[in-house]
């Protein structure tokens, strides 16, 4: 069986066909150009630098292209990377398809759509329900195929919908446990909170930030979409229910230094921020632990304060049955 990225051990030589997830042109201190590359297949990603890149190399090795990679897997600052021996562009007549290199969500788009549609029925406030339905219809095709990020959490095809669905389910459970929480508001906020990423990001393959994504960002973009759809639906934008929905979306990153224009100022906004953080963190830890042998530590996870997590070597025997 052909090896994939995560099948290689440290100090093992690699030779495989992969997708170029990202390709950034950079310069050394001496002023020489090189390419900072991220390679991807369905098992994960790895970074590597292509030194002394010519203009022809920069044109050939761009994000979204399929390449044959030869090199050696190494550790650099406690993180795996590949020392590149050679790269070759793979032609369209060689039998490879982009989708075979892109990791997908563990649910199909149809499954996620069915579950999210059922959750929308639980949004009982008519203002929130109409806004959520209208925006989900507008961005449906992108929403169920886009990743939730270029890197870090849920950076996979369908990751945006999967992350959203996980958060909506958490919102339901929390609302059951704490009846003082407005379930309709929390569900509406969970479903809409990252919808602006369908504008901020370029798509599931060779994901990059769009110009408007870099300059404006997904939080402001979805707030703008909420206002525009309210205009189309002729909704009163001065009502409290309209304002608190906007607040949930605008505050979901928690802190202004993390991109939120405002901090959470109502209970549901704080909960939305917390479940967003939890679901993203769990996804990153899970991905790292899946690649880790029991009894060992994961690679450092940059987005989690560069921490490493231990995978316990626990016994798997069944617990004794209670009488």
- 166 and 81 share a domain? no
What are the tokens at 104?
């997908």
The whole-angstrom separation of Cα 51 and Cα 69 is 14
Q: Specify whether the CB–CB gap between 230 and 249 falls below 8 A.
A: no
The range of the structural domain enclosing residue 35 comes to: 5-100
- 133 and 273 share a domain? yes
**Phi and psi based region of residue 149 (left: phi greater than 0; alpha: psi -120 to 50; beta: remaining):** beta
Per-residue model confidence (pLDDT) at position 320: 52
Task: Give the residues of the chain that fall short of pLDDT 50.
Answer: 316-317, 319, 323
- 188 and 135 share a domain? yes
Q: Specify whether the CB–CB gap between 239 and 127 falls below 8 A.
A: yes
Per-residue model confidence (pLDDT) at position 322: 52
What are the tokens at 108?
């199909």
- 149 and 250 share a domain? yes
Per-residue model confidence (pLDDT) at position 95: 87
Per-residue model confidence (pLDDT) at position 61: 94
The whole-angstrom separation of Cα 156 and Cα 201 is 12
Per-residue model confidence (pLDDT) at position 317: 46
Per-residue model confidence (pLDDT) at position 1: 61
What are the tokens at 279?
């679901």
* CATH code of the domain in which 129 resides: 1.10.3210
* CATH code of the domain in which 15 resides: 2.40.50.140
Q: Is 158 among the domain residues?
A: yes
């Amino acid at each position: 069986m052909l090896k994939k990225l995560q099948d290689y051990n440290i100090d093992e030589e690699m030779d495989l066909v992969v997708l170029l997830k990202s390709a950034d042109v950079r310069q050394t201190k001496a002023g020489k150009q090189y390419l900072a590359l991220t390679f991807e297949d369905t098992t994960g990603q790895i970074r590597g630098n292509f030194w002394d890149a010519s203009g022809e190399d920069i044109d050939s090795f761009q994000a979204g292209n399929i390449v044959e990679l030869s090199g050696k897997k190494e550790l650099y600052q406690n993180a795996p990377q590949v020392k590149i021996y050679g790269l070759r562009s793979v032609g369209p007549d060689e039998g490879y398809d982009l989708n075979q290199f892109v990791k997908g969500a563990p649910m199909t788009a149809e499954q996620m759509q069915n579950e999210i549609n059922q959750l929308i029925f639980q949004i009982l406030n008519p203002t929130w329900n109409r806004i959520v339905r209208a925006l989900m219809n507008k961005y449906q095709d992108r929403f169920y195929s886009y990743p939730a990020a270029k890197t870090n959490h849920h950076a996979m095809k369908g990751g945006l919908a999967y992350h959203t669905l996980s958060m909506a389910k958490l919102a339901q459970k929390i609302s059951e446990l704490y009846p003082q929480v407005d379930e309709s508001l929390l569900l509406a906020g969970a479903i809409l909170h990252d919808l602006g990423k369908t504008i901020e990001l370029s798509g599931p393959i060779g994901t990059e930030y769009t110009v408007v994504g870099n300059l404006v960002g997904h939080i402001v973009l979805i707030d703008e979409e909420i206002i525009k759809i309210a205009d189309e639906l002729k909704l009163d934008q001065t009502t409290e229910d309209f304002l608190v929905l906007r607040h949930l979306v605008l505050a979901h990153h928690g802190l202004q230094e993390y991109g939120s224009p405002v901090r959470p100022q109502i209970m549901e906004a704080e909960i939305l921020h917390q479940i967003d953080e939890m679901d993203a963190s769990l996804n990153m830890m899970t991905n790292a632990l899946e690649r880790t042998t029991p009894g060992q530590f994961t690679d450092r996870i940059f987005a989690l304060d560069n921490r490493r997590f231990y995978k316990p070597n626990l016994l798997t025997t069944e617990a004794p049955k209670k009488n």
